[in-house]
C-alpha cells in the first residue's frame, strides 16, 4: 500500500512540475523573438496578441506587452491593466507582470533608469522616479502622480515561493521628445 501511495505522489509531483515547466517554456517562447528597437520612424512589427515592446536599456532587457483580457494572458508577457491609460496618453499606464517570469528584471531597476515603450502609435520614453515595496492591498501606490505616468507592478519578494505578500511598484514619468 505504501509503495502505491508513493508512486501516486511521485506521479502527481511530476505532473505539477511538468505543467510549471510548460508555462515557463511558453512564456520564454513568446518572448524570445524580441528584437532591439529599430531606427526612429521604422514601422513596428509585433507578434500576434502583443500590442507594444517595452525596453529597459540599462538592464539590456526587452519584452513584448500583451493587452490583458484574462489573467492567463500574463503568462505570455507583461500586460496592460484594463482601464489604465496607454503609453503617450494622459493618465497612468499600468503594466503588470509575473515576478518569476518576465518582471524578475525589475529587481535590478534604479531611479533614473529609462524605460522605452514602442507601440503602433509611436515611441515613448519614461524615466524611473521611484521603486517601492508595498503591501499587496495597497491600491494608493497605483494612483497617478504625473500627467503621463508609467507604473510597472509585480509581486515581491522576487524569490518567494507561494502567493507573495507584497508588491514591487516602479513609477516613471514621461520624457518629452526633444
Give 8-51 pLDDT, tens digit per residue: 887 887 777 777 666 666 656 666 655 555 555 566 778 888 89
Query: Higher model confidence: residue 167 or residue 3?
Result: 167
The angle at the Cα of 171, spanning 166 to 176, to the nearest 5 degrees, equals 170
The domain spans of the chain are 33-175
Mean pLDDT of the chain: 86
3-class DSSP state for residue 55?
Answer: strand
Q: Which CATH architecture has domain 33-175?
A: Beta Barrel (2.40)
pLDDT score recorded for residue 32: 60
Give the pLDDT mean for 126-154. 94
Cα–Cα distance, 139 to 58 (Å, whole number): 29
For the cut 80, the answer to whether the pLDDT of residue 110 exceeds it is: yes
pLDDT score recorded for residue 5: 82
CA dihedral (136, 138, 143, 149) positive or negative: negative
pLDDT score recorded for residue 76: 85
Amino acid at each position: 500500500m505504501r509503495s502505491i501511495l508513493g508512486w501516486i505522489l511521485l506521479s502527481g509531483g511530476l505532473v505539477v512540475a511538468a505543467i510549471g515547466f510548460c508555462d515557463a517554456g511558453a512564456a520564454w517562447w513568446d518572448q524570445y523573438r524580441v528584437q532591439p528597437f529599430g531606427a526612429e520612424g521604422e514601422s513596428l512589427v509585433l507578434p500576434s496578441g502583443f500590442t507594444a515592446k517595452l525596453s529597459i536599456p540599462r538592464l539590456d532587457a526587452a519584452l513584448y506587452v500583451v493587452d490583458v483580457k484574462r489573467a492567463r494572458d500574463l503568462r505570455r508577457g507583461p500586460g496592460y491593466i484594463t482601464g489604465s491609460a496607454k503609453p503617450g496618453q494622459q493618465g497612468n499606464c499600468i503594466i503588470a507582470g509575473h515576478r518569476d517570469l518576465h518582471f524578475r528584471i525589475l529587481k535590478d531597476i534604479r531611479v533614473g533608469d529609462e524605460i522605452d515603450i514602442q507601440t503602433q502609435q509611436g515611441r515613448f520614453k519614461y524615466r524611473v522616479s521611484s521603486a517601492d515595496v508595498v503591501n499587496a492591498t495597497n491600491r494608493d501606490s497605483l494612483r497617478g502622480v504625473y500627467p503621463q505616468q508609467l507604473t510597472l507592478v509585480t509581486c515581491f519578494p522576487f524569490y518567494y515561493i507561494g502567493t507573495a505578500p507584497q508588491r514591487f511598484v516602479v513609477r516613471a514619468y514621461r520624457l518629452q521628445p526633444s
